[in-house]
C-alpha cells in the first residue's frame, strides 16, 4: 500500500512543482487574484506532498529501542502537519490576497499586453494557456492517485469511492486524491473568475472565485486533519475485533472472551488484546488422555526401583499436569492467532490471556 502511495505522492510533487512556477509567472504578468491564489494553492500542495513523502519515509523505519512497534504513526504526524500547513498558509494567504484585491478593486489598471520578443501576448490568453497546461499536468497526477485509490477500494471490498474516502486506512493516499481533486476544481474556478472578469469587465468575479479556492482549501485541511487525528488517538479496529469474535465463537475449545481491545498503529499494524475462558467439556477429556501419556513418559525416565514411590508418582503427576495444561493453552492461542493473522494480516500483534476454564453449574457436571 505504501508503494502505491509513494508513487502517487512523487507524481503529485513533480507535476505541482512545474504548475506552481508557471502559475506564479502568469499571476505576476496578468495581475489576476484567482491565478495568484491558484499559484499559492499549487505551492502549498507541493510543500504538503513533501511532508507526505517525508512521513512515508519515516514510517518505513523498523522497530528499535525507542519505538517498539516501528515508526508507522509518524506518517500520520507528518500528514497532520501537512493539513495544518494547507489551512494556515494556503487558505490563510488565499483569503488575505482576495481581501487585499477587493480593497484595491477600482484603483488598479488592467494589466497591459505582455511583450515577448516581437510578440504581444494578451494576459487573458496567457492565463488560459497556463490553466490548460496545469489541467493536463494535475489531471495526470490525479489519475495516478485515483487509480491506486480504486485499487485499494476494491481490495477492501468497497464499491462507492465517496464512502471509501471516510473508510480508507491510508490517509496519505486519501490526502493526495483530495488535494488533486481540489486542484482540478480550483483550476475551473480560476478559469471562471478570469473568464467572467474578461467578459463583463467586473473584477469582482476574479476575486470571488479566488476566495472560493481558499475556502475550499480550508475545508479539505480540516477534513485531512480530522482523518489523521483519528489514527493518532489510539483508535480501535472494529473489523479486527469483529473477526476475533467470529474466530472465538467457532473455536470448539473456547467458551467466551473478556476485555477485548485493539489499537491501530498504522494501516499495516493493529494490536489486539483479550482474555479467554476455555470450555471444560471440550478440554478436560483431551487433557486427561495427554496427562496420562505425559505422566508415563516422565516415570519412564525414573529408575524402575523408584517408579512406585508415592513421592515420585506425585511429582510426575504434578509436572505432567502443568506441562499438558500449559502446552495445550499455548496451542489454542497459537491456533487463534494463526487464523486471525491469516484472514487479516494487518493484525500484527495479538496478546491473549487464558483466564481459566469456564465452570458451569456444579450440579450439572455429572448429570
Q: Is the CATH number of domain 238-364 3.30.70.1350?
A: yes
Place of cell 502568469: 26
Query: What pLDDT does 230 receive?
Result: 73
Backbone angle region of 281, left / alpha / beta, with phi > 0 → left and psi within -120 to 50 → alpha: alpha
Q: What is the DSSP string of 146-210?
A: HHHHHHHHHHTT---HHHHHHH-S-HHHHHHHHHHHHHHHHHHHHHHHHHHHHHH--THHHHHHH
Query: What pLDDT does 365 receive?
Result: 40
Query: What pLDDT does 339 receive?
Result: 94
Q: Given CA atoms 221, 17, 167, 187 in this order, what sign does their dihedral have?
A: positive
Place of cell 465517496: 162
Give the residue range(s) of CATH 1.20.1510 domains in the chain. Answer: 2-231
Specify the DSSP element, H or E, that contains 254.
strand 254-266
CA distance 238 to 114: 60
What's the distance, Cα to Cα, between the start and end of the chain in Å?
56
Specify the DSSP element, H or E, that contains 217.
helix 204-231
Fold of 2-231: Alpha-lytic protease prodomain-like (1.20.1510)
**CA dihedral defined by 231, 236, 241, 242, rounded to 10 degrees?**
-80
C-alpha cell at 264: 491501530
Query: What pLDDT does 118 receive?
Result: 60
CA distance 240 to 337: 12
In 1-122, where does DSSP find H-type helix?
2-30, 33-59, 74-85, 92-103
Tens digit of pLDDT at every position of the chain (367 positions): 455 578 888 888 898 899 899 988 888 887 777 778 778 878 888 888 888 888 888 888 887 777 777 777 778 888 888 787 776 777 787 788 778 778 777 655 555 555 555 666 677 778 888 888 988 998 898 898 899 889 888 888 888 888 888 777 777 888 888 888 888 888 888 888 888 888 888 878 888 888 888 888 888 888 888 877 777 776 788 889 999 999 999 988 888 888 899 988 877 788 999 998 887 666 666 677 777 787 888 888 888 878 788 888 888 888 877 777 778 788 888 999 999 999 999 898 898 888 766 655 544 443 4
Is 0.75 surpassed by the pTM of this model?
no
Using alpha carbons, select from 79, 84, 87 the residue that is nearest to residue 169. Answer: 79
User: Taking a C-beta distance cutoff of 8 angstroms, is the pair 76, 228 a contact?
Assistant: yes
Give the residue range(s) of CATH 3.30.70.1350 domains in the chain. Answer: 238-364
User: Taking a C-beta distance cutoff of 8 angstroms, is the pair 86, 217 a contact?
Assistant: yes
Query: What pLDDT does 366 receive?
Result: 39
Going by C-beta distance under 8 Å and a sequence separation of 6 or more, which residues neighbour residue 159?
153
Q: What is the DSSP string of 103-143?
A: HTTTSSPPPPPEEETTEEE-HHHHHHHHHHHHHHHHHHHHH
Query: What pLDDT does 336 receive?
Result: 92
Amino acid at each position: 500500500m505504501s508503494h502505491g502511495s509513494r508513487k502517487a505522492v512523487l507524481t503529485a510533487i513533480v507535476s505541482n512543482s512545474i504548475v506552481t512556477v508557471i502559475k506564479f509567472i502568469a499571476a505576476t504578468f496578468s495581475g489576476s487574484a484567482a491565478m495568484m491564489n491558484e499559484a499559492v494553492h499549487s505551492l502549498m500542495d507541493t510543500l504538503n506532498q513533501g511532508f507526505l513523502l517525508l512521513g512515508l519515509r519515516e514510517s518505513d523505519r523498523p522497530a528499535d529501542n525507542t519505538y517498539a512497534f516501528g515508526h508507522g504513526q509518524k506518517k500520520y504526524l507528518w500528514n497532520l502537519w501537512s493539513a495544518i500547513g494547507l489551512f494556515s498558509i494556503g487558505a490563510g494567504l488565499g483569503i488575505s490576497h482576495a481581501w487585499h484585491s477587493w480593497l484595491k478593486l477600482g484603483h488598479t489598471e488592467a494589466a497591459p499586453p505582455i511583450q515577448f520578443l516581437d510578440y504581444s501576448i494578451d494576459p487573458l490568453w496567457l492565463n488560459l494557456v497556463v490553466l490548460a497546461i496545469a489541467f493536463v499536468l494535475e489531471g495526470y497526477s490525479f489519475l495516478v492517485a485515483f487509480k491506486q485509490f480504486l485499487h485499494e477500494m476494491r481490495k477492501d471490498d468497497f464499491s462507492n469511492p465517496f464512502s471509501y474516502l471516510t473508510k480508507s486506512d491510508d490517509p496519505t493516499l486519501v490526502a493526495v486524491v483530495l488535494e488533486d481533486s481540489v486542484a482540478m476544481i480550483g483550476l475551473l474556478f480560476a478559469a471562471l473568475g478570469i473568464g467572467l472578469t474578461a467578459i463583463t469587465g467586473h473584477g469582482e468575479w476574479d476575486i470571488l472565485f479566488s476566495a472560493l479556492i481558499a475556502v475550499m482549501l480550508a475545508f479539505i485541511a480540516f477534513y485531512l486533519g480530522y482523518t489523521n487525528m483519528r489514527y493518532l488517538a489510539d483508535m480501535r479496529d472494529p473489523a479486527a475485533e469483529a473477526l476475533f469474535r467470529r474466530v472465538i465463537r467457532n473455536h470448539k475449545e473456547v467458551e467466551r472472551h473478556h476485555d477485548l481491545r485493539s489499537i491501530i498503529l498504522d494501516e499495516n499494524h493493529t494490536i489486539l488484546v483479550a482474555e479467554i475462558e476455555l470450555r471444560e467439556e471440550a478440554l478436560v477429556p483431551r487433557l486427561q488422555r495427554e496427562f496420562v501419556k505425559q505422566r508415563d513418559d516422565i516415570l519412564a525416565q525414573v529408575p524402575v526401583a523408584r517408579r512406585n514411590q508415592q513421592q515420585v508418582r506425585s511429582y510426575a503427576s504434578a509436572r505432567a499436569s502443568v506441562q499438558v495444561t500449559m502446552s495445550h493453552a499455548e496451542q489454542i492461542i497459537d491456533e487463534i492467532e494463526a487464523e486471525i493473522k491469516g484472514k487479516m494480516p494487518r493484525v500484527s500483534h495479538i496478546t491473549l490471556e487464558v483466564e481459566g476454564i469456564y465452570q458451569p453449574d456444579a450440579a450439572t457436571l455429572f448429570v
